[in-house]
Structure 1
Amino acid sequence: MPAPVITATGLTKHYGDLVAVAGIDLEVAPGESFGLLGPNGAGKSTTMRMIGAVSTRTGGDLQVLGLDPDTHGPEIRSQLGVVPQEDNLDTELRVRDNLIVYGRYFGIPRAVCARRADELLAFAQLEDKARSKVDDLSGGMKRRLTIARALVNEPRVLMLDEPTTGLDPQARHVLWDRLFRLKERGTTLVLTTHYMDEAEQLCDRLVVVDQGRIMAEGSPAQLIREHSSREVVELRFGSQRNQAAAERIAGLGDRIETLPDRVLVYAADGEAVVEQVSRLGLHPTTSLVRRSSLEDVFLRLTGRSLIE
């Protein structure tokens, strides 16, 4: 088996009395798309900064591309592509020049930078925007340009911190398509997200993180299979009636979760649960049967919703 590109054992990060990362163990294989799934403040971005050699760890062991980030930061950063949460493009430069100038920071010859810039603009579907100002781009275009810029140095690992936050659904799907193409090329992806559908779409394997700790690890399908039922019934009775209704239907399905706006019933057969609820004389305002998702896994593991 090829050696992991990232290995962490007992990784911790403290900011004074605040424990941001509380002993994380993980491995990322070459060519894998690996995700850290969790709510804001879970420690995902802090972990990414330590892997990216821009923040020193408090404790534990960490190896990135066979090197220690605390002592070989420049060597590691030269082989990484980084897409931060917020686009930090140079608005003084035009779209194509953003790629060329960024490539020059790595000591890449200008002619090579120019060739790669044209290739990456085509990859990001931004060829017709090459001479545009950055401020004239839409949010989705800026995100694709940021990813293209992160690929200028042909990195061994591409790190993406909340890559689609703030984008509309269409822009998200376009971005997912670009990232999926990178997966097909064998690029190692490491991403953080609090969108369960994004994790299911992009990640071969992921860890569920909460309060700086790993709650579970596996493929999306494996985590859903191990920590949830096949289907979920969402019942809405009204915020004042949900708790009472949940008590009436106790015993239906595998388990029940009562949230402020709805009651969730986990079961192998959601339609059968809806029929049972009706036979009990209960009439929810709305009912929905859906398959289990990573949101349900997180709720089961932590007792709270993934996106708060």
Structure 2
Amino acid sequence: MSASDPVREALPRKTRDALDGWLSSLALERRLSAHTVTNYQRDVLGFLSFTAHHTGESVSFSTLSKLRAADFRAWLAQRRTHDDVGPRTLARGLSAVRTFFRYLAREDMADNAQIALVRTPKQPVSIPKALSVEAADKLLDNLEPDKSWTQARDLAVLTLLYGAGLRISEALSLDVRDWPRRGTPLRVIGKGNKTRVLPVIDAIHDAVEDYREQCPHGLDPSGPLFVGARGGRLNPRSLQGTLARLRSGLGLPDSATPHALRHSFATHLLGAGGDLRTIQELLGHASLSTTQTYAAVDTARLMEVYDAAHPRAGSGSADKG
């Protein structure tokens, strides 16, 4: 959202300056991505616009300090009914507004404890869409690295996602100097600028080294590890396009995305006896409850196998006793 946004320009100068200071702190102190900062800005500007109409007052620090929990709930209700947004978007918006109010309190501009009384909208349980072991193998086996260097590159990235559980953004942000020697771990900077250390299996090392040998561009140690056709850092859309063509040709569902390989990494580890705490560390989840969703995937798959194979399962089983 540009500096000339009409909602922003309608704010009192001090509120506008506070908003700009908060946005800078998100980018510089918390190191949030530009995409996240833009979403937070949009959410808070929407809240401030609602507040101006809801209270009939200029959105000064005094106005913000006087808001009651009911006012915050009215904003959420308005977004739910008039803007038709779901619980995830509502939760993100509330999180943005809370963060803004914490900044105002920290800078001694405005203080309002009422927002702490507002509950985060209940989120639907979302079970990650992991691929089966067979589907994951099929995807990787159908990339032929000896046909072109770009296929060797795509195979290297996808093997890294499935073999180490990286997010696509984490894999594509790696520089050449980040890549470890064989037998040493990989250090990855994930969400919230947190570093985690991951083991690198031989299959990953082989795929990455094969790509590096075939890559026609000189890979500078301080430059990107995975590059596009012109030698710049690989764009995730290129990899997403490769996977879309692959899944179409192999008859796999639309859920077979790069991120599904990360989900598959976790689900297959759990199915092979891995414990949740270890998988939490490998994925870089801040909360164990996030990792526990993979247990639901594993249980659902177990029940599918049970229903298909157990002699007492399925319709009519009671009559066979």
TM-score range, shorter chain: under 0.3
In the superposition, the TM-score normalised over structure 1's length comes to 0.23
In the superposition, the TM-score normalised over structure 2's length comes to 0.23
Task: Say which one has the larger Rg.
Answer: 2
Greater strand proportion: 1
Greater helix proportion: 2
